[in-house]
Amino acid sequence: MDIQDNITQLRNDITATCDQYDRNVNTVRLMAVSKKQADDRIDAALATGHRLYGENRVQEAQKRWTDRRKDYDDLELHLIGPLQTNKVKEAITLFDCIQTLDRPKLAKALSAEMDKQGKFIPCMIQVNTGEEDQKSGILPVEFPDFLALCQNEYGMTISGLMCIPPFDEPPTMHFALLQKMAATHGLRELSMGMSSDYAKAIPFGATLVRVGSAFFGARPAES
């Protein structure tokens, strides 16, 4: 499978969906989720000119991107997986956005590290819209206070919200909830939708869709 073909197909689909729902296609960004992909796939994606990537593990991302990103001024790399407080230093050094801010302790650690490095990057708050025990993300009921803490107490730039809907439920009610929360609190970015459901996230205002397998082809089996 050729990556350029995948990108063309994804872009055509995103454009058609935006047309259908009366959205400007320039307001929906396509993120390539590069976790677990082989080096030659990453390099092939970079060769097409694609510059927005997401990774879900700090250490894996460091290996893949620390050297590579030196060659691309316009590369934009987001963390989309859970972040432990003992990895915030590496995360702030490497990433341009943390999409998975979800608890006070992490907000404190991130803001302290940004001060220390003098590198202030935007974060998105991950919301556990399905209120699943095992899933990261702040609970919807705790969100307003948490947002206020991040913005007022820690002076962080919160650019928007991110969610991963439960696997066994239709995603649209979760996309709708995230959209409503963002609108209520004046947040612009909505990171939602993956390979299987990005087209469903667009009518609910997604500004960034996170696409892995439909972009690169299937990931090697989970280990």
Q: How far is CA 67 from CA 4, 49, 88, 112, in A?
A: 23, 17, 19, 26
Q: By CB under 6 A, is residue 178 in contact with ligand PLP? A: no
- Rg (C-alpha) for the chain, rounded Å, is 17
To ligand PLP, the closest distance from the beta carbon of 197 in angstroms equals 9
Give the number of residues in contact with ligand PLP, rule: CB under 6 A.
Answer: 14
Q: Which is nearer to ligand PLP, 28 or 154 (CB)?
A: 28
Q: Does 3 bind ligand PLP (CB under 6 A)?
A: no
Q: Which stretch binds ligand PLP (CB under 6 A): 89-97, 170-178, 189-197, 200-208?
A: 189-197
CB of 106 to ligand PLP, least distance (A): 16
Half-sphere exposure of 122 (CA within 13 A, CB side): 12
Residue 210 in the binding site for ligand PLP (CB under 6 A): yes
CA distance 37 to 153: 38
28 vs 194, which CB is nearer to ligand PLP?
Answer: 194
- Binding span for ligand PLP by CB under 6 A among 10-18, 85-93, 176-184, 205-213: 205-213
Does residue 7 interact with ligand PLP by CB under 6 A? no
Token pair recorded at residue 130: 């399905």
Which of 32, 80, 138, 158 lies at the binding interface for ligand PLP (CB under 6 A)? Answer: 80
Three-class DSSP category at 162 = strand
3-class secondary-structure state, position 160 = strand
Give, as ranges, the residues between 37 and 66 that touch ligand PLP (CB under 6 A).
56
Q: Could you tell me which residues come within 8 angstroms of residue 36 by beta carbon, excluding any fewer than 6 positions away?
A: 60, 219, 220
Q: Is 52 helix (H, G, I), strand (E, B) or coil?
A: strand
Least gap, CB of 153 to ligand PLP (angstroms): 27
> Dihedral (C-alpha) 88, 103, 157, 160: value to the nearest 10 degrees?
120
Q: What's the rounded Cα separation, in Å, for the pair 158 and 120? A: 11
Q: Which of 121, 158, 194, 202 binds ligand PLP (CB under 6 A)?
A: 194
212 binds ligand PLP (CB under 6 A): yes
Buried b / exposed e over 20-46, threshold 16 CB at 10 Å, is eeebeeeebebbbbbbbbeeebbebbb
Is residue 81 near ligand PLP by the rule CB under 6 A?
yes
Please report whether residue 33 would count as binding ligand PLP according to CB under 6 A. Answer: yes
Which residues contact ligand PLP (rule: CB under 6 A)? 33, 35, 56, 80-81, 164, 194-196, 210-214
